[in-house]
Structure 1
Amino acid sequence: MVAAGRRAYGAAMSVLFRLARQAVKGRVPALAGVVLVLAVGGGAGIAALVAAWRTDHAYADYLRDAEVAEVVVNPSLRTDRARAIVEATPGVLEIHSDVLLFATMDDGAPRPVTNVDAGLELHLKVSPDGRYVEQDRPVVHEGRMIAGGNELFLSVDAARDFGVEVGDEVPLSFWDARDTEATGHASPDVLVEPAGRETAEVVGIGVFADGVLADELYPRRTALVSQDLAAPYLCPAATLPDEPTPVDELVVRLYPPGCSVTYEYFSLRVAGGDAAVGQVLTSIAARFEEESARLPEEMVAEDVRYYMVPKVTADEEERIDRSLDPSVTALRLFGVAATGASLVLAVLAVVRIARPVRPLARVWWQVGAPQWQRAAAIAVPLAGSVAAGMAGAVLLGWLASGIGPVASARAVDPSPALVLPGPVVLPVAGVSVAVLLAGVAVAAFSAAKVTEQVDARPARLATAAARSGNVPFTLGVRAALRGGAAVVVLGAMVTAVLTVLGSVVFSTNLARVIETPARYGWSYDAAAITGGGYGDAAIDAIAASLDRPEVDGWGVAALGSANLDGEAVPFVAHRAGFAGLPLPVVEGDPPVGDGQLAVGALTARRLRLEVGDTVTVSTSYGSHTGTISGLVVLPPIGPILTDRAGLGTGLVLPAPFLERALESAADRGEVDATTLADQLGSFIAIDLAAGVDPDEFLAAVDDDLTSWDALGYRPFVYTDPVRPPQIADVAAMRSAPVLLAVVIAAASAVGLGVVVRAAARGRRRELAVLRVLGATGRQVRATLRWQALTIVGVGLAFGLPLGVALGRATWAAFADGLGIAPGFTLSATWTALIAAAAVVVGIAAASLPARASTRLAPAAVLRAE
């Protein structure tokens, strides 16, 4: 019994194999075309989706692999008490530290004290306890990490700006830290000598954890030097007296002769991870405030005190995610569109390949082959081509995965390996195979069915066309809407139009934001920053310098960090005139008085705050409570080497609000709160009169610039808009939506040409009958042209409104993610061009098949049919 069953099964398989060979005969080129379409289109789609996935995950993977700590704290004052406070804070599991050295990459020629490091050209660091080796490890692009001796590791920006490579020997000059910290007490004409000169070998170049995003505000030239080389210029943390002490003696304690250390940074691993960082920072800030109250009055009067300057890793990760979101979105859209287009074309090709097998299937039926066997014989070669195509797609996707992360994420994965992430490939391949096999099954069973088919009821549009009395028009519309394949073709065209228009609408609004700095918070013609963002703006000198007809308005803002509901948030506070330079408002109103403040939209979302909520803002100087009046877009400004405001992040504090928050510190220091607040001013925004060139204006006031800084340093100046990292990344990828639209449009044009050509071949009998009945070649060509234009017309009728809706929704979600007002714009010109281009493509797609149809002899066609 079993043997008989096996023989029957073998016989059935043998018959199936012979039938499948007959089905393949003469159709190998078409089947190869299916393989090619799937391999190229699917491979491009998989590669794009893999790149999106790797871009989205690159920084988080780096943070984990490099063991980057949850937060870095700079106490401002480097004392033994600062370290003790940090070490004793509940929740701190592990501490690694490094110090910033006052050094320059030059020969150390004597110079005025105010010009020792004009522009803060090098941030030279050294770690005594393994930071950057055991924790917070940078990504090495070239060479290696330092090990000892006279070795130097440079950031990519530093290597580029200084023009050095791995293996180069560079000069380093170390200066007394007190030369910069005590400038306000020394004559700017005094020439100073370096504490020492060294030569270092560049052994590595890479990217630090906080150097991934583009920074247009400050030079980001970070370097790490070995302990051996820096040892002569290090000094222990200061021990400050409790009793009254002259300021000069305090300066010597903080910055002893020969010591180049300016600041110390503590990198903290926190129990509970990112969720517990706010609590730890609140505790440290409270202890710093208590410790500041014990400082000598002379120090407080000079604003020399503890105040916490944190850099939260989770905030940096969030900024990077926001910055990369446009790139990730564009890649995902491209991947889905490329994969979808290849699937649609493959299914259409499968249907077209299976349909001509119907006469052969009738023969099989006549010799006794059951329907399942007929369908299987048709399906086997089709399924084989589908399987080969998908295998090719996966292979090409793997080979193309080397593009790896894009935009800023490339910095943490400079040499990506070839990989196919399971979370990307398995769903894409699974869905694709399911769709393709379903198409193969439907096509095979439809072709294997030999009973008479009843024509479907004509579509309403075809019925309406018939009333026109125009035969070519009527036949063209009817052909476009006839049969099950018509639904697929029309759906593909609608999808193509809405995708192209949606991409163009998104790209148009993206370009408007990039080209309108006020939208992302920079509404100034020129600007400057004193004291590296930590203060020292000389408001009286600034007012005297800017009191001229070329200036329509100016303002000074204080920058810093505050604690809001347990989370460190950068703030921008109004000082002289800054309230007159309004920031973009997303919701509500700008803040006024001492009882209101504004927040960035993303900060409000993260902390679950709304307009009208009452919050307490705590700083190292004190705290104050106010009501949120609105959500605003802040400019990308803040102190150097710390978190800063930008787009949807940060707080805006009116001048009276800041002064109320400083009252307790001012009382302790016996100074006026307004004076203390003015000492924190550092950002100078300038609104020039119409027609005034910013470069020419700043050149005209160049001699006054050092007077804008109370310590006599030359400030950072800006004549071009400073873009947030998110906008810089968006600008780098702004062509991606347009590229997507071009690719989809090209694929749609090719697909439409294939469909019309196949339709012309399928309608040979109908067109031949028309010729016999007296139709001219022009009328035959017209019917094919109307068929193509009907497909295009349906695509435009449904695709245009859906495309506008898609573009608007996508842009609104993107703008909301950036924390800016959507400000939607629809370009009528681009919409009209897309519609016109679709019509032209439709006419062009019909031209070649139409000419070929008119060359065929009607008698020969009818005889063959």
Structure 2
Amino acid sequence: MTSTTSQTALDRPIRAGGGTARVWRPVWAWLRLDLRRRWLSLLTLALLVTLATGVVMTATAGARRGASALDRILAVTSPATVAAAPNEPRFNWDAVRRLPGVEALGTFLLTGNFAIEGHPEVEVSSPAMDDEGMRTVERPAVLAGRLPDPARVDEAVVSPHFVETTGLSVGDTVTALLPTPAETDAAALNEEPISYSGPRQRLTIVGVVRSGWWLREPQDSPGGIAATFAFTEAYRENLVGATGDAAIVNAMVRLRDGAAGIPAFQQALDRVARHPVETLNVVADERSYRETTTFEAVGLAAFALAAYLAALVLVGQAVIRFVIGATADLDVLRTLGLSTRQATVAAAAGPVLASAAGVLAGAGAAVAASPLFPIGSAALVEPDPGVHTDLLVIVAVAGVTLLLVAVAATTTAFAASVRGVRPARPRGSAVARLAYRLGLPVPVQTGVRFALETGRAGAAVRPALVGAVVGVLGVLGSLTFQAGVADAVANPARFGQVFAVGSYVGFGGHDVAPADDLLRAAAADPDVLAVNDTRVDVATVERRPVTLFSLDPVAGHPPSIQVLSGRLPATPGEIVLAPGVASRTGVSVGDVLTVAGRDPAAGTPMRLTGLAFAPQDPHTTYDEGGWVSAGGYRALFTDRLFKFHEIRVEVRAGASASAVRDRLNAAVGADDAFILLLDDIPVDEQQRFRGIAVLPRLLGAFLGVLAVGAVGHALFVGVRRRRHEVAVLRALGTTRWQARAIVLTQAAVIAGVGLAAGVPVGVVLGRALWRAVAMSTPLIYAPPVAALALALVAPAVAVAAGLLSTVPARRAARLRVPDVLRAE
């Protein structure tokens, strides 16, 4: 023991016996002594538990919050069921309001608008054409301030991104710039761009709001502002034009039966209009958005689970290591009458108390970090941002963690106490024996033995090696997976989107632009790799509607569409489907399918020659369409029948798609809105990966920090446990610098084992996880390579090992040899 006073304090109650207080007095005396002696090890353990539980609580609570964000905002915003877009002037909305299934209807002006002085980048919400919007339908959640008074001309609400972009918030004022009636009429007839030389109106921002659909803003939005119906009434001619003949008003509609009432409403709406009216299924849009938020929540939950499992391994090893060391020190008291139960509680008490403190600190950290969540798309619909305490998560994680720590500590202490003072035989290492045979310096041999030799004195060996391997494996695996995520986010080709530039030159069977001139200009551009003259329409494949695209390359240069299996269609009797369509239809490559064009009864047999993703379009997704040859399209629809006529351009690798777009616009004398960057039509799944792109990096950082703490703790404990051997070597002539070299060699060997085992396993694990995600998304799998991580992992581990070994090495060099040998 360290002192006669401490020995007497512990020895007296053991001999006294009798009474519960006296029975446990040695335990409290030992705990006070242990806290003084090993406070640094217990503090390190508490910090590890704080980091682990704080991260897990934060991520789990964030996942729960993100998964429920859309449902929570829909519960308070009176959401629309459908948006009706007849896109024709003077539409009879009063008749639509009277339809039996309509519960609420709010109209908005599609043409005519105003601008905000000094902030041309912000988006102005379509002016309200009645007082129903923000009241009976799509009533937004208020994040700050209040909703505007519909009767006030000078009040407005803004979105959260507006606050971020402009720095303005509740109580500030902006100036609305309106066009003249003539300017609105000219813009509605596409005669000239809108300008704002009309009246000016001061608007006071009274609230910051958002809703689940109408006032939802994209990630990169500069923010928006919405005025009142009173504002529209005050400046009606400025907004709708002198006569209002060109003004187009559409509507948001909430149905009593929800999504189930949409078919009946559509039929009734068509009867009112006397022609088919385009509608947007808001419920389906919300369902798609919910899939995105759920994907992000699952990713965050997976991050929490991976972090917790890694923490159990590393923190569990630290707990066991501490308990074994305490039990060994208690062996002396066992000979003086300390019972097995007392020894078990005494050895386990320190780690359990340190873990309890760590759990409390972790819970506080989770609450403090809660304003950062939810992440990704869920953050755009969160109705209650700010500090949030998820008691269920905190109690569950805290309870499970303390239970596991208590079980691990007590069972380890009991097992070690039952063994008593019998020394464990050290288990040698083949590497240490090889170092001896090679005649390496004694400090090197000793350091290798300390790093690899197990047994009672080497109790810290296995935890240190496990910590190093798990750290390298976890960091490299996480960053390899992150490389796959980053590639998917930045590369639309992974989702089959090989066309970077395009234009809609025809709608509803009629071309509205000089398609032939554009095709020639695109084919002659030096940065263009391929041009496809694409016609799009909806066919019926095995009685299921499927959007088909014609494969009709210009100048014989086919686009580089990657086929997942099989080949592209070459004859009129062949078809390629996206894998999602093939899976839902139950067909496979080689099957003969019945495909019908506009007439469902006129089915044509076509052979499925392959599976490939289709272009992402406003009305279909990349995994829902299919390809046919130009001859196949003519057989189904003829060239004059199409829903859309599109020109799609594939750009050479390294070329600027923006430059190609600008040259094509100039070549055909069109404005910048004619030729589009097709990246502006995002793939939903690609957006989902953008929402979780940061998680693998955070997991890697978390595992790295946790591993550094675990290995550092192991080195500290290892030097203390090996102090007798180091003291003997010092007594035999080992210098202080040689004592330091022992610990440095030990750290270097541990780092080497971590690299040798962690690098290959981490790369394989990261790629396997990314392949599983790619197959389930789906997307085209490409083996991810974390090049920077691979280049830096060895030097980073070497530097970390050197820094971690600095303090233990100094302690080994400064051992008081006589005191250590006398105490032992």
Q: Where on the TM-score scale, by shorter chain, does this alignment land: which range?
A: 0.7 to 0.9
Conserved 8 A contact 1:812-1:822: yes
The sequence identity of aligned pairs, in percent, is 21
The answer for the alignment partner of 2:11 in structure 1 is none
1-structure distance, mates of 2:696, 2:623: 24
Q: Cα 1:382–1:525, aligned 2, differ >3 Å: closer, same or farther?
A: closer
1:482 and 2:451 matched: no
Aligned with residue 455 of structure 1, among 405, 409, 424: 424
Aligned with residue 467 of structure 2, among 459, 469, 492: 492
CA shift for structure 1 position 436: 0.8
**Amino acid of the residue matched to residue 103 of structure 1?**
G
Conserved 8 A contact 1:38-1:342: no
1-structure distance, mates of 2:464, 2:24: 32
**Amino acid of the residue matched to residue 59 of structure 1?**
L
Q: Cα 1:860–1:797, aligned 2, differ >3 Å: closer, same or farther?
A: same
The answer for the alignment partner of 1:344 in structure 2 is 314
User: For 1:148-163, what aligned pairs fall within 5 Å after superposition?
Assistant: 148-149=150-151, 150=153, 152-153=156-157
Please list every run of 5 or more consecutive structure 2 residues that lacks an aligned counterpart in the other structure: 1-15
Conserved 8 A contact 2:128-2:229: yes
Q: Cα 1:457–1:37, aligned 2, differ >3 Å: closer, same or farther?
A: closer
Q: SS of the counterpart of 2:248?
A: strand
Conserved 8 A contact 1:324-1:729: no
1:313 and 2:283 matched: yes
User: For 1:596-611, what aligned pairs fall within 5 Å after superposition?
Assistant: 598-601=576-579
The answer for the alignment partner of 2:405 in structure 1 is 436
The answer for the alignment partner of 1:66 in structure 2 is 77
1:171 and 2:148 matched: no
2-structure distance, mates of 1:531, 1:9: 97
Q: Cα 1:421–1:777, aligned 2, differ >3 Å: closer, same or farther?
A: same
Query: How many pairs are equivalent?
Result: 785
Q: SS of the counterpart of 2:25?
A: helix
CA shift for structure 1 position 319: 4.7
**Amino acid of the residue matched to residue 754 of structure 2?**
G
1-structure distance, mates of 2:745, 2:194: 85
2-structure distance, mates of 1:568, 1:140: 41
Q: Cα 1:270–1:605, aligned 2, differ >3 Å: closer, same or farther?
A: farther
Conserved 8 A contact 2:319-2:405: no
**Amino acid of the residue matched to residue 498 of structure 1?**
L
The answer for the alignment partner of 1:101 in structure 2 is 110
Aligned with residue 712 of structure 2, among 753, 762, 766: 753
**Amino acid of the residue matched to residue 749 of structure 1?**
V
Conserved 8 A contact 1:493-1:748: yes
Aligned with residue 362 of structure 1, among 324, 327, 332: 332
CA shift for structure 1 position 263: 5.0
Conserved 8 A contact 1:554-1:581: yes
Conserved 8 A contact 1:322-1:817: no
User: For 1:184-223, what aligned pairs fall within 5 Å after superposition?
Assistant: 199=201, 201=203, 203-210=206-213, 212=216, 214=218
2-structure distance, mates of 1:536, 1:157: 36
CA shift for structure 1 position 437: 0.6
Conserved 8 A contact 1:466-1:474: yes
Q: Cα 1:540–1:530, aligned 2, differ >3 Å: closer, same or farther?
A: closer
The answer for the alignment partner of 2:639 in structure 1 is 674
Q: Cα 1:700–1:450, aligned 2, differ >3 Å: closer, same or farther?
A: closer
**Amino acid of the residue matched to residue 757 of structure 1?**
F
Conserved 8 A contact 2:478-2:766: yes
Residues 225-254 of structure 1: CA deviation (Å, up to 9, x unaligned): 54444469999xxxxxxxxxxxxxxxxxxx
2-structure distance, mates of 1:138, 1:569: 36
CA shift for structure 1 position 834: 2.0
Aligned with residue 581 of structure 1, among 559, 574, 595: 559
The answer for the alignment partner of 2:723 in structure 1 is 764
Q: Cα 1:585–1:228, aligned 2, differ >3 Å: closer, same or farther?
A: farther
Residues 324-378 of structure 1: CA deviation (Å, up to 9, x unaligned): 7468636752674278448734751564266246444533552x44321332244
Q: SS of the counterpart of 2:280?
A: strand
Residues 153-207 of structure 1: CA deviation (Å, up to 9, x unaligned): 5556678889986642413448699968995xxxx76999999978573554544
The answer for the alignment partner of 2:33 in structure 1 is 25
CA shift for structure 1 position 550: 3.7
**Amino acid of the residue matched to residue 482 of structure 1?**
T
CA shift for structure 1 position 505: 0.8
Residues 85-141 of structure 1: CA deviation (Å, up to 9, x unaligned): 99989xx68564534431121599xxxxxxxxx999766153658354334343445
CA shift for structure 1 position 812: 1.7
Q: Cα 1:174–1:204, aligned 2, differ >3 Å: closer, same or farther?
A: farther
Q: Which sits farther off after the overlay, 808-817 or 462-471?
A: 462-471
Conserved 8 A contact 2:501-2:649: yes
Conserved 8 A contact 1:52-1:332: no
**Amino acid of the residue matched to residue 473 of structure 2?**
L
The answer for the alignment partner of 2:250 in structure 1 is 264
Conserved 8 A contact 1:541-1:707: no
**Amino acid of the residue matched to residue 539 of structure 1?**
A
The answer for the alignment partner of 1:554 in structure 2 is 531
**Amino acid of the residue matched to residue 649 of structure 2?**
I
Q: Cα 1:434–1:375, aligned 2, differ >3 Å: closer, same or farther?
A: same
Task: Compute the TM-score of the two structures, normalised by the length of structure 1.
Answer: 0.74
Aligned with residue 861 of structure 1, among 801, 820, 824: 820
**Amino acid of the residue matched to residue 29 of structure 2?**
R
2-structure distance, mates of 1:396, 1:160: 26
2-structure distance, mates of 1:467, 1:512: 49
Conserved 8 A contact 2:80-2:252: no
Residues 211-230 of structure 1: CA deviation (Å, up to 9, x unaligned): 646378xx898765544444
**Amino acid of the residue matched to residue 258 of structure 1?**
G
Aligned with residue 685 of structure 1, among 624, 628, 648: 648
The answer for the alignment partner of 1:124 in structure 2 is 126
Conserved 8 A contact 1:101-1:123: no
The answer for the alignment partner of 1:408 in structure 2 is 377
Q: Cα 1:707–1:474, aligned 2, differ >3 Å: closer, same or farther?
A: closer
Conserved 8 A contact 1:145-1:204: yes
The answer for the alignment partner of 1:53 in structure 2 is 64
Q: Cα 1:523–1:382, aligned 2, differ >3 Å: closer, same or farther?
A: closer
Q: Cα 1:448–1:223, aligned 2, differ >3 Å: closer, same or farther?
A: same
User: For 1:232-271, what aligned pairs fall within 5 Å after superposition?
Assistant: 257-259=243-245, 261-262=247-248, 264-265=250-251, 267=253, 269=255, 271=257
1:42 and 2:28 matched: no
**Amino acid of the residue matched to residue 504 of structure 1?**
L
Conserved 8 A contact 1:107-1:171: yes
Q: SS of the counterpart of 1:104?
A: coil
Residues 510-556 of structure 1: CA deviation (Å, up to 9, x unaligned): 33334434334443454445699997344134346546454644345
The answer for the alignment partner of 1:390 in structure 2 is 359
Q: Cα 1:155–1:543, aligned 2, differ >3 Å: closer, same or farther?
A: farther
Conserved 8 A contact 1:571-1:650: yes
2-structure distance, mates of 1:467, 1:593: 74
Q: Cα 1:396–1:192, aligned 2, differ >3 Å: closer, same or farther?
A: closer
Residues 561-580 of structure 1: CA deviation (Å, up to 9, x unaligned): 88989998877666785994
Q: Which sits farther off after the overlay, 206-215 or 432-441?
A: 206-215
1:519 and 2:489 matched: no
1-structure distance, mates of 2:88, 2:66: 39
**Amino acid of the residue matched to residue 685 of structure 1?**
R
The answer for the alignment partner of 2:345 in structure 1 is 376
2-structure distance, mates of 1:234, 1:107: 18
CA shift for structure 1 position 791: 3.1
User: For 1:522-537, what aligned pairs fall within 5 Å after superposition?
Assistant: 522-529=497-504, 536-537=512-513
The answer for the alignment partner of 1:301 in structure 2 is none
